[in-house]
């Protein structure tokens, strides 16, 4: 599938709710395409010296999203073909979404809330899931963000299966998109 990578003229950006596998799938996808991989949450941590959750809690969602938008714009505009995994809320910001849809190929990874709740319960790194019932929070976020995520160029459903199967589904959808069939 490296031949698909050679047909790309802009970065690939993975969007979707927390826990859907953007980072794990993104690394595997980048390897299959012969591209580099960047996790925007890791880039935020490198830039701020704080985890995304700490930045979110310390400065609030508005300032966090503003900084996230600037960082994602820089990652896209650096001119490198790569796969970028964004934070779950990045694509919800209208300015970030517009920028990404204009300068990258956006792929919405979508999974059932039950699977997301199980995956995100493994680590306490999600600021938005620390208070209350995580499953209810994920259901609310899924409902609130669906309209934004639907604006991605490509929609790939994920589930409890292997990450390699999601990568294969992305590669098929990406090939269709690049040949104008999507």
Distance CA 70, CA 153 (A): 21
Choices 3.90.1300.10, 3.30.750.24, 3.40.50.300, 3.40.50.150: CATH for 2-174: 3.40.50.300
Which residue positions in the chain have pLDDT lower than 50? Answer: 125-130, 182
Helices 40-48, 52-77: inter-axial angle, 10-degree rounding: 110
Beta-bridged to residue 105, according to DSSP, are 12
Kindly give the pairing relationship between strand 12-15 and strand 82-85. parallel
Q: In this predicted structure, what is the pLDDT of residue 2?
A: 60
Tokens matching residue 117: 């709740």
CB neighbours of residue 79 within 10 Å: 8
Within 13 Å and on the Cβ side, how many CA atoms surround 72? 34
Q: Which two tokens stand for residue 161?
A: 């299966």
pLDDT at position 54 is 86
pLDDT computed for residue 130 by the predictor: 46
- Compute the chain's Rg from CA coordinates: 15
- C-alpha 174/C-alpha 55 separation (Å) is 33
Which pLDDT belongs to residue 3?
A: 85
pLDDT digits (tens, 9 = 90+) for 146-174: 999 999 999 999 877 788 999 999 999 99
pLDDT for 132: 60
Contacts of 40 (CB under 8 A, 6+ apart): 68, 71, 72, 75, 84, 85, 86, 87, 90
State the pLDDT at residue 157: 92
Q: At what angle do helices 163-178 and 22-33 cross, to 10 degrees?
A: 60
The domain segmentation of the chain, as residue ranges, is: 2-174
């Amino acid at each position: 599938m490296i031949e698909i990578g050679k047909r790309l003229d802009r970065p690939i950006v993975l969007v979707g709710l927390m826990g859907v596998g953007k980072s794990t799938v993104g690394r595997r996808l980048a390897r299959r395409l012969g591209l580099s991989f960047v996790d925007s949450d890791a880039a935020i941590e490198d830039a701020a010296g704080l985890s995304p959750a700490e930045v979110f809690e310390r400065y609030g969602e508005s300032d966090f999203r503003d900084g996230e938008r600037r960082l994602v714009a820089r990652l896209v505009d650096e001119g490198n073909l790569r796969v970028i995994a964004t934070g779950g809320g990045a694509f919800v910001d209208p300015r970030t979404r517009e920028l990404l849809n204009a300068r990258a190929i956006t792929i919405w990874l979508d999974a059932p809330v039950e699977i997301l709740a199980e995956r995100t319960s493994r680590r306490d790194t999600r600021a938005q899931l620390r208070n209350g019932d995580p499953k209810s929070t994920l259901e609310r976020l899924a409902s609130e963000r669906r309209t934004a995520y639907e604006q991605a160029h490509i929609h790939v459903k994920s589930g409890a299966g292997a990450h390699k199967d999601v990568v294969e589904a992305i590669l098929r959808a990406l090939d269709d998109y690049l040949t104008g069939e999507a």
